[in-house]
Amino acid sequence: MRTVTGLFDDYEAARDAVSDLEAAGVPSDDISIVANNTGDWYSTDTSNAAEGAGAGAGLGAAGGGVVGLLTGLGLMAIPGVGPVVAAGWLASTAAGAAAGAVAGGAAGGLIGALTDSGVDEQEAHVYAEGVRRGGTLVTARVEDSLGPQAEAILRQRDSVDTAARRSIYAQEGWTRFDENADPYTLDQVERERQRYRSMMP
């Protein structure tokens, strides 16, 4: 087994990547998605918030009717990131013993969950920071034989070049994800999203 991971500036592209991975034969249980939910973009009924990552009450419409992993989106909070919608093994691992709680318990868990699954630590920090700034993370555990196809799916859906993104962050003085940092505000997230849209060819 190997872990393939992609950061997306566009939630729709991430959602499509999840669907493509499922269509390629990757079981839903082996795929995770964590999307920044500042501004409550992906919630259809916040009063019916999910009972934890992967529990998914009230957020099924966020998947646009897609079956599989995306019907199980739930709400949680990650220190330094803020509110996210998440589903799958990575979200459950990040939440640890607090799975089942709507908020809290994921402090540092996202980095640890990524590195424990084989993701390079430096990349894990870029992924966590990317989610903090409004992105969506897709991670899949795949058989070695499916690895190249899974990586191609993430690239075809316009996943972020992590080396280039790290360079952009570093130019601003960033060195690593800080779980004690304030989450981005809605205005900051919108500015980040607009910034990366303007870089698209």
Task: Provide the residue ranges of all domains of the chain, joining segments of one domain with +.
Answer: 2-199
- Quote the Cα angle for 172-130-58, to 5°: 145
Burial class (CB in 10 A: 0-12, 13-18, 19+), 51: middle
**What per-residue confidence (pLDDT) applies to 198?**
79
Distances (CA, A) of 131 to 134, 147, 148, 149: 5, 23, 24, 24
**What per-residue confidence (pLDDT) applies to 69?**
65
**What per-residue confidence (pLDDT) applies to 91?**
74
**What per-residue confidence (pLDDT) applies to 78?**
81
DSSP string spanning 28-69? GGGEEEEEE-TT-TT-S-GGG--SSTTT-SS-GGGGTT--SG
Query: Do 132 and 184 contact (CB within 8 A), yes or no?
Result: yes
Burial class (CB in 10 A: 0-12, 13-18, 19+), 67: exposed
Exposure of 176 in the CB half-sphere (CA atoms within 13 A): 9
The structure tokens 């993370």 sit at 137
Digitized pLDDT (tens) for each residue of the chain, 201 residues in all: 899 999 999 999 999 999 999 999 999 889 999 999 988 876 653 322 233 333 333 333 333 334 466 656 787 788 788 888 888 888 777 665 334 333 343 445 788 888 888 899 999 999 999 999 999 999 999 999 999 999 999 999 999 999 999 999 999 999 999 988 899 999 999 999 888 887 765
Reading the block at residue 194, the tokens are 């607009």
Give the predicted TM-score (pTM) of the model. Answer: 0.80
Query: Do 138 and 14 contact (CB within 8 A), yes or no?
Result: yes
**What per-residue confidence (pLDDT) applies to 131?**
94
**What per-residue confidence (pLDDT) applies to 185?**
92
Reading the block at residue 24, the tokens are 């390629």
Burial class (CB in 10 A: 0-12, 13-18, 19+), 73: buried
**What per-residue confidence (pLDDT) applies to 82?**
85
Dihedral Cα 54, 55, 58, 63, nearest 10 deg: 30
**What per-residue confidence (pLDDT) applies to 47?**
27
**What per-residue confidence (pLDDT) applies to 83?**
87
The structure tokens 């330094």 sit at 80
